[in-house]
Amino acid sequence: MKCESEKGSLPGKLSALISAVIGRSGYGTPLWLLAVFVFIVAYAVFSRETTTLPGGSGAAWTSSLGDGRLDARISRLAERIRDNPNDIQALLESGILKFRKGPGSYVDAISDLESARSRGAADVRIFYYLGRMYQAEGLYDFALEEYQRLLNNRPDDFEVRMLAAKLLFASGRYPKAVREYEAISESHPDDILVLENLALSRWKNKQDPGPVLEKLAAKGRAAEFRVRYISGRIAYENKDYRAAVPPLSRAAAESAGYPDFTDRALLYRMLGDSYVRLRSDPGAIFALTELLKLEPDNDDARSQLARLMKARRRAARENAAKAKRPAKK
């Protein structure tokens, strides 16, 4: 698939290059030299344009380096860039490797990839990595712009379409999120995650999620689990905590059986808060304990749990003291 800054299909461009070279044969160019040149052009074009994106069959440069080799490679690239600030390939590789290092390196990775692009890099992966990092940094408009650039080149890229749709939802653009999830659902009608997010987007957009939930519930046990989670989440966000607890508690009990479910922490946060608001200390203690296993640095949860445990110990002492008092005659 072509990059946004290039025109024409890959076979078309290659054919044009070959035709142009062959057309020069009338001016005395040896045929064997033409053949070598055509081979070099074909190799360069194909090796550049068939690079796969992460989430596909591989990610060039990042798939086989351990952390130590990663740092060493980044250091060598930094030397290349110091020697030649216009080394596009070094900037591109450096940015991708820094992306792999994690959020702490995102700012430097963005700088490298933007520098590579400003110097003429035309690698479709730039859109993907910049989109991911801008999203992580909270720069949603920039991230959406990068995802759209990538989708202009690869309109059927499911992963990027989902990333863009989720970003529309997260940024409160619910009408657009609904439209995007509906479009994705047309090509992936049985995808549970698509239907789940479509239901949530419809609800946030003040549309009835019921028909989508009914369709989702018919997809099997994993889908039924998702329906319980969504139903509990909707009740919780509507501040109907009593209605939220049954589906959330059941979903929490089942959640460990679905390793691809990524909202376990949110599930226990909602369940714990519902129990706290309903003054159900045992349920709140259970939910907060489970939440801290998933988010050990959650200070609010730790503080709430400490308060509830202190109240439980105080109540236990008071009950023990009452039990020791002689019964009144």
In the chain, what are the helix, strand and coil shares in percent, each to the nearest 5? 75, 0, 25
- Quick: pLDDT tens for 254-283: 999 999 899 999 999 999 999 999 999 999
Which pLDDT tens digit goes with each residue over 294-315? 999 999 999 999 999 999 999 8
The CA distance from 137 to 238, in Å, is 29
Cα separation, 115 vs 88, whole angstroms: 8
The residues, ordered by sequence, that sit 6+ positions from 236 with a Cβ below 8 Å of its Cβ are: 244, 248, 270, 273, 274
- C-alpha 72: how far from chain center: 28
One-letter amino acid for residue 29 of the chain: T
Structural domains of the chain in order of their starting residue, each with its CATH number = 66-139 (1.25.40), 232-317 (1.25.40.10)
CA dihedral 180, 181, 182, 186 (to 10 degrees): 110
Alpha-carbon distance of 140 to 171, in angstroms, equals 7
215, 195 contact by CB (below 8 A): yes
**170-183 per-position pLDDT tens digit:** 999 999 999 999 99
Rg (CA), the chain: 28
- Eight-state DSSP code of residue 325: S
The per-residue pLDDT of the chain, averaged, comes to: 83
Instruction: Give pLDDT tens digits for 106-163.
Output: 999 999 999 999 999 989 999 999 999 999 999 999 999 999 999 999 999 999 999 9
Which residues make Cβ contacts (< 8 Å) with residue 92, sequence separation at least 6?
Answer: 112, 113, 116, 121, 123, 126
